[in-house]
Homo-oligomer: A and B are copies of this chain.
C-alpha cells in the first residue's frame, strides 16, 4: 500500500467524480509515477468547491497539486520530472535519454492532448451545442493527424524510446482519453501501447486507489426517492 498519511509527499485529488471522467482525472499520472518509483504518498481529497486559497497552490483550480516538504508544484509534467529525479525507474540518468523522455512529456500535453481533448468534448460536454456537429470534421482531422504521426513514431516499439519513462506515463494517460472516445480505432499499435501501460502493476494500483476514493465518498442522496 503506497498511500500513507505520514508521507512527506502530498497529492491533491478529487473526492468524487461522476462516471464520465472516472479514471481520467490527472492525479492518476502522479499516483502511477509514485507507484513505479515505490514512493509513499498521502492524498488531499478536495471537492468541486475548492478549499479557500487553493489557487495559491493551483492557479487554474485543477487537480493535482503536489508538495514534498518545501517543494510545491502543480502541472503533472513538472511533478513527474521531480519524481524522475528521485527514481531512475522513471527517468534515465544519461543526458541524451533523459531529455528524450522529458520531451515526450511535453509532446503528450501539447502536441497530442489538446487535439484529443477538444475532439472528445464535442461528444460529451459540448454535444448539445448547435455548432458541435459542424466542428467535428475539423477536429477529427486535427486529432487523427497527430495520432497518426504518433503511431508512425511508435511503430512496433514497446515504448516511445528504448525503455519505459515518465514520457510513457504522460502519453498513455492522454491516449486513454482518446481510446474512450473512439479516436484510436485506426491505430492498432497505439491501442496495444495503451494496453501495455495499463497492464503495469503500478498503473493498476494507482487506478484502484483513485477509484476507491470515489466509492468511499459517494454524494449523499438529496432526500428520499418519491
Interface set of A (CB-CB < 8 Å, partner B): 55, 59-62, 70-79, 81-82, 95-96, 99-100, 102-107, 109-111, 113-114, 117-118, 126, 129-135, 138, 146, 149-150, 152-153
Shortest beta-carbon distance from A138 to chain B in Å: 6
Find chain B residues with CB under 8 A from A146 CB: 60
A interface majority secondary structure: helix
* Residue ID in chain B nearest A139 by CB atoms: B118
Q: Tell me which of B79, B106, B117, B126 contacts A138 (CB under 8 A).
A: B126
Could you list 19 further interchain pairs (A-B, Cβ under 8 angstroms) beyond the known A71-B99, A129-B138?
A55-B149, A55-B152, A59-B107, A59-B153, A71-B95, A71-B96, A75-B104, A75-B106, A76-B106, A77-B106, A77-B110, A81-B99, A82-B99, A109-B109, A113-B114, A114-B118, A131-B131, A131-B132, A131-B135
Alpha-carbon distance between A132 and B138 when the two chains are bound, in angstroms:
11
User: A103 and B78 in contact (CB under 8 A), knowing A71-B96, A131-B131?
Assistant: yes
Find chain B residues with CB under 8 A from A61 CB: 149
User: A106 and B135 in contact (CB under 8 A), knowing A118-B114, A149-B60?
Assistant: no
Contact, CB under 8 Å: A59 / B152? yes
Find chain B residues with CB under 8 A from A150 CB: 59
Alpha-carbon distance between A5 and B23 when the two chains are bound, in angstroms:
50
Shortest beta-carbon distance from A139 to chain B in Å: 9
* Residue ID in chain B nearest A65 by CB atoms: B103
14 interchain pairs (CB within 8 A)?
A59-B149, A59-B150, A60-B111, A60-B146, A70-B96, A71-B99, A73-B103, A77-B77, A78-B105, A110-B114, A114-B117, A129-B138, A131-B131, A131-B135
Contact, CB under 8 Å: B81 / A102? yes
Contact, CB under 8 Å: A134 / B138? no
Find chain B residues with CB under 8 A from A100 CB: 72-73
Shortest beta-carbon distance from A97 to chain B in Å: 10
